[in-house]
Amino acid sequence: MKISVLLTSVLLTVTLALAGCAAPGAPASSEPPETAGTSNETLPGAPALTELETLLEEIYSRVNPSVVNISVVESQIPGFPLPRRAEGSGFVWDTEGNIVTNRHVIADAGKITVTFYDGSIVPGIVVGADADSDLAVVRVDVPPDQLKPVEVADSSMARVGQLAVAIGNPFGLQGTMTVGFISGLGRLIPADENALGATYSIPDIIQTDAPINPGNSGGVLLDSSGKLIGVTQSIATESGTSSGVGFAIPSAIVQKVVPALVASGRYDHPYLGISITSLDPDLAAAMNLAASQRGALVITVTDGSPAARAGIRASEGEVTIDSQPVAIGGDVIIRYDDIVVRSSDDLVTFLARYGSAGQVVTLTVLRGGVEVEVPVTIGIRPGS
């Protein structure tokens, strides 16, 4: 089972000035040495250390009761003498007993145990799971007054450099908080195979340097107000532990997927039925477009898909760039409704963030260098 981590703690560097020792034989001065600043000075606009500590303490005391440990005993695998065990994190979604976690945490679960911050332990059952977003909902039978849902913020408002706080259970150490910053936005990471064996990317991912380690998966990534901006999901690492690059599924996706999982056990992802790549200067030149032109070049269009029915055109030509054959000649998508598309990542993100099955959107494309508006009725992703 893949159990991921995220979040490198923020290192608040405090410079400690050593007391100046007089040279041998020289008298010690009774006057304080001249320094560039005093110990209680702070950078302009920066909070005092005690203010930051107070903020973090308040966030932890308010949100930690909402974070749970999830222990999983996987279904018996033929050929293995004992079932495998794994641990992850989760958090309270509502007062109905719904707990959000990563789908990879509870995949193949034969038994699920949920431990709350006060030590109470209850069984959990899976009510819905979605491989394409790596989100799942586990339900527990707990009185509503004992459940404290996490408040959710709009992750689309997050900015690089803002505070990021993670709470989870790395290595089974329940109630661990780590602190860092948002270090990147708009990343894409691959999801596990869905019901049809297809793989897609999870878009709009938040990157953070707050330390995350095995067992953090399914935990919370919070902003400075203590509200959820993401679900910690994975890390980039060569050692299996935090390397300072962690990833969280954004709350904008969580808010779309989780209510559907609670209601029906599934989520219908929006679908166009195209494969795309980012238009770069070399591709633009090969298609007689301005070198500065950006967009999402359509490589293939799936037969019978929403894009095919709308008349979106796939690439039919091929050129060699840097000794590699590349497709050219397809439509270049430059706007999703009124939003500018500068890359393939943009289009995937906008579709996931704003799109829904049955919705009609207008894709503005460059076709032979001419702008064409193409209305497309979004479909349901196969295998959702």
Tell me if 51 is assigned to some domain: no
CA distance 298 to 292: 18
Q: Which are the catalytic amino acids?
A: 104, 134, 217
- Confidence band, pLDDT 50/70/90 cuts, at residue 73: very high
pLDDT of residue 237: 78
CA distance 90 to 167: 10
Tell me if 37 is assigned to some domain: no
Average pLDDT of the segment spanning 51-63: 95
* pLDDT tens figures, 158-200: 999 999 999 999 999 999 999 999 999 999 998 887 777 777 8
Of 256, 290, 320, the residue at which a domain comes to its end is 256
Same domain, 279 and 340: yes
Same domain, 160 and 246: yes
Mean pLDDT of the chain: 87
Same domain, 159 and 231: yes
Same domain, 132 and 165: no
CA distance 45 to 22: 37
Same domain, 367 and 307: yes
Question: For residue 327, what is the domain's CATH number?
Answer: 2.30.42.10
Same domain, 320 and 353: yes
Same domain, 140 and 241: no
Same domain, 174 and 103: no
* pLDDT tens figures, 333-345: 999 999 999 999 9
Tell me if 39 is assigned to some domain: no
Question: For residue 107, what is the domain's CATH number?
Answer: 2.40.10.10
Tell me if 13 is assigned to some domain: no
Of 146, 175, 202, the residue at which a domain comes to its end is 146
Same domain, 197 and 280: no
What single-letter DSSP state applies at residue 157?
A: G
| Structural domain span for residue 130 | 67-146
Dihedral, 189, 250, 378, 197 alpha carbons, nearest 10: 40
Sign (positive or negative) of CA dihedral 245, 250, 253, 259: positive
Tell me if 234 is assigned to some domain: yes
- The count of structural domains within the chain is 3
Same domain, 295 and 370: yes
Tell me if 1 is assigned to some domain: no
pTM across the whole model: 0.82
Same domain, 163 and 231: yes
379: burial class by Cβ within 10 Å (0-12, 13-18, 19+)? buried
CA distance 105 to 283: 41
Of 256, 279, 312, the residue at which a domain comes to its end is 256
Tell me if 114 is assigned to some domain: yes
* pLDDT tens figures, 316-336: 988 899 989 999 999 999 999
